[in-house]
Structure 1
Amino acid sequence: MSMQFFTLGDSGLKVTRLALGTMTFGTEWGWGSDKATARAIFDAYVEAGGNFFDTADAYTGGTSETWLGEFIAERGLHDESVIATKFSMNLQAHTPNAAGNGRKNILRAVEGSLKRLNTDHIDLYLMHCWDRLTPPEEVMRTFDDLVRSGKVLHVGLSDVPAWYASRAQAIAEHRGYAPISALQLEYSLAERNIENEFIPFGTRYGAGIMAWSPLASGLLSGKYRPSAAEPTAGRLETVRGTTNPGFQKFNERNWAIVAELEKVSAELGRSMAQVAVNWAMTQPGVASIIIGATKLEQLNDNLRALDFEIPSELRQRLDHVSALQPTFPYSFFGSEIQGAMTGGQTVGDKPAGYYPDLNISGKFAGVS
């Protein structure tokens, strides 16, 4: 296998197409990997050529950041590694200013992450989640201060509305702040809603998409198969009682996706997880896919998603079964309306070859 590097958004930060998610480093949440297993997963990823690590201050009570910092130091990979970490969710906070996205908490959180990661700077610092309170002006000013101080090199947003991301980037452009270089968002065959606004935003305004949960919380991993003898009702028991939207994946649309994915995987002679990751990784605008594992064999299987291409006919089948239903206002922009705005003529945005040096994603240049 060969890891390909992409520049992240319009930044000069070079990252591998597969990022290692370390939310599973630690067992504080009742699941995850012990230290020996986490180290083995880290080593396997590095030996496969990976350089991009994703963590957060909230993951496993800080253990994720601490172990990641230790593993990088043990192998002397400080200069080679690209570390992304996040703030917003302080699970131990007892006061409102010790969590969220206000300037006070950002400055508190960054110091904690630097200490746990045992580093003097963070390569990519992301707002973990929109708190519905803090204006983007405050976040972007604080981000810029951190970049100017050298504690942070690049900044990004995770799990925010598209209007918020757009406003934040506009503020950065207008005021000369450090721009948003990355958007970390859920994306998979079962969750394609970012295609409506985030993909166009990212490709036009320089923010690379880092996709999390490419296996849809395990739905696309091969663990759940419509062809299995176990009835669907039995599988539904695995998620009953949770209100986490990340686990609310069992519905008729998604079962149809799983069924088609199983067929396509069989025709390719690949695991369902490999095909699902490969599909997401090669979609327009996607700079990197975050893969996580609690077992070494899971990581090794996902790493093999780099080893093949999905033929166009099979990709079309996956695209079709997982296609989004048009919603307003996108349902309004059909051929009849478009024709009324172009004098009935076919008008493209740019001619073929307008971006001659870029790869198939249209915006993110690969470097070998």
Structure 2
Amino acid sequence: MKYKLLGRSGLKVSEFCLGTMGFGTDNGWGADAAVSFAIMDEFANAGGNFLDTANVYQKGTSEKIIGDYLINQDRDYFVLATKYTLKDNQTNPNASGNNRKNMMRSIEESLKRLKTDFIDVLYLHIWDDITPIDEVLRGLDDLIRQGKVNYAAISDTPAWVVAKGNILAELMGWSQFIALQVEYSLLQRTPERELIPMAKHFGMTVTPWAPLAGGALTGKYLKGEKGRIKPESNRLNENSERITKVIMAIADELGVSAGNVALQWMRQQAFSCIPIVGATKIEQLQDNLNTVDLTLSADHLKKIDDISAVSLGFPGDFFREENVKLNSFGGFYDRVEKR
């Protein structure tokens, strides 16, 4: 793998991030420690250095497994990302949320489980719609100044909140968010409405979770395989089947897997993107990493876009109209002939 800069920083990360939500079996599924170690070895041997976890993954076991693994590795080779927000115990009313108290408590617990002195990238996991964004940013900046965290990032948060946060951080001299983690795939393109344009504007790298829509885009469910996706999920409806069949047809034409096509479509979009590829089996990771050798043609991209594009809503669709152009001087929309 090659390396890319993460957002507006000098941090070099591999072009895929290894998702570790399946490290551990505390939730009734996942990979045990031995398999998890083997997956991380495979990832590192392929040049991967970017690991993604969270305090709540497998009830904390994911962080513990990574910590046990890193003891015998070059810690500085890896870029370790974790998250805080979601409840990881029942000790007190502030054991969840974006507040400073939970942030400080969570980071200390994560550092213990990960057996490390610092976290490379700390994500706010999900917006709680309660805590002021300035409280979050000041807390993250304090952790960075203390050396316990190197970079701040944010996940699953409205675009306007992230934008307000980065502008406030710039004005106050605090550390800005360098990465945005959201659900994004060919079956979930709604982040194209506000989140992705916002990230592109601020120079943030998008790190999509579920880039294969829980495995739906690999075509395995159409082949009769079973998984953790519920039958009523929008990942298994008629629209998702239409999209997946197109992906499978392109994959057959190119002699690659459907997952490779779905991942490469994402990597060829016009913004900085590092997909998070989860794996509980080495074969899954190996197949995902084959994507680095694939390039989709303009025809392939158009065919995929035609079957999967979503409405941008207002004002996105309004901007798309060919006969409408923004008159930046008058501050109003003026219908003009397209040149």
TM-score range, shorter chain: over 0.9
Question: Displacement, 1:329?
Answer: 2.0
Task: Describe the SS at the equivalent of 1:211.
Answer: coil
Candidates 226, 238, 242, aligned match of 1:252: 238
* 1:32 maps to amino acid: G
Question: Displacement, 1:326?
Answer: 3.6
**Higher relative contact order at CA 8 Å, sep ≥6: structure 1 or structure 2?**
1
Paired residues, what number?
A: 333
Task: Describe the SS at the equivalent of 2:18.
Answer: strand
Question: Displacement, 1:136?
Answer: 0.6
2:7 paired with 1:15: no
Structure-2 separation of matches of 1:218 and 1:11: 32
Contact kept in structure 2, 1:93 and 1:99, CA below 8 Å: no
Task: Describe the SS at the equivalent of 1:258.
Answer: helix
The residue aligned with 2:119 is 122
Candidates 132, 135, 148, aligned match of 1:135: 132
2:322 paired with 1:335: yes
Question: Displacement, 1:94?
Answer: 4.3
Candidates 131, 140, 154, aligned match of 1:157: 154
Question: Displacement, 1:86?
Answer: 0.2
Question: Displacement, 1:153?
Answer: 0.7
2:225 paired with 1:239: no
Q: Cα distance 1:344–1:240, how it changes in 2: closer, same or farther (>3 A)?
A: closer
The residue aligned with 1:274 is 260
Candidates 34, 38, 41, aligned match of 1:40: 38
Q: Cα distance 1:235–1:321, how it changes in 2: closer, same or farther (>3 A)?
A: farther
Candidates 122, 144, 164, aligned match of 2:141: 144
2:171 paired with 1:174: yes
The residue aligned with 1:262 is 248
Contact kept in structure 2, 1:4 and 1:16, CA below 8 Å: yes
Task: Describe the SS at the equivalent of 2:208.
Answer: strand
* 1:36 maps to amino acid: A
Structure-2 separation of matches of 1:272 and 1:182: 27
Question: Displacement, 1:71?
Answer: 1.2
The residue aligned with 1:194 is 191
Structure-1 separation of matches of 2:228 and 2:129: 33
The residue aligned with 2:289 is 303
Question: Displacement, 1:93?
Answer: 2.6
Candidates 212, 215, 219, aligned match of 1:218: 215
Question: Displacement, 1:222?
Answer: 2.2
Alignment of 1:18-33 (within 5 A): 18-33=16-31
Q: Cα distance 1:34–1:205, how it changes in 2: closer, same or farther (>3 A)?
A: same
Question: Displacement, 1:224?
Answer: 2.1
* 2:307 maps to amino acid: V
Out of 337-346 and 32-41, give the one that drifted further.
Answer: 337-346
Question: Displacement, 1:325?
Answer: 2.0
Task: Describe the SS at the equivalent of 2:217.
Answer: coil
Structure-2 separation of matches of 1:95 and 1:177: 29
Task: Describe the SS at the equivalent of 1:218.
Answer: helix
Q: Cα distance 1:90–1:168, how it changes in 2: closer, same or farther (>3 A)?
A: same
Q: Cα distance 1:179–1:238, how it changes in 2: closer, same or farther (>3 A)?
A: closer
Q: Deviations over 1:16-73 (max 9, x none)?
A: 1101111110000000001111111111000011000000000111111111122122
The residue aligned with 1:293 is 279
Structure-2 separation of matches of 1:300 and 1:174: 44
Question: Displacement, 1:318?
Answer: 0.8
* 1:336 maps to amino acid: N
Contact kept in structure 1, 2:247 and 2:258, CA below 8 Å: yes
Please list every run of 5 or more consecutive structure 2 residues that lacks an aligned counterpart in the other structure: 328-332
Q: Cα distance 1:126–1:35, how it changes in 2: closer, same or farther (>3 A)?
A: same
Contact kept in structure 2, 1:123 and 1:154, CA below 8 Å: yes
Q: Cα distance 1:131–1:317, how it changes in 2: closer, same or farther (>3 A)?
A: same
TM-score under structure 1 length normalisation: 0.86
Q: Deviations over 1:279-304 (max 9, x none)?
A: 11222223311001111111111111
Structure-2 separation of matches of 1:218 and 1:28: 21
* 2:62 maps to amino acid: S
Q: Deviations over 1:101-137 (max 9, x none)?
A: 1000000001111111111111100000011211111
* 1:72 maps to amino acid: L
Q: Deviations over 1:194-237 (max 9, x none)?
A: 11222221122121111111101111122122xx5x6xxx9899
Give the percent of matched residue pairs that are identical in Structure 1 and Structure 2: 41
Off by >4 Å, runs of 4+ in structure 1: 234-238, 339-343
Structure-2 separation of matches of 1:62 and 1:237: 20
Structure-1 separation of matches of 2:228 and 2:134: 44
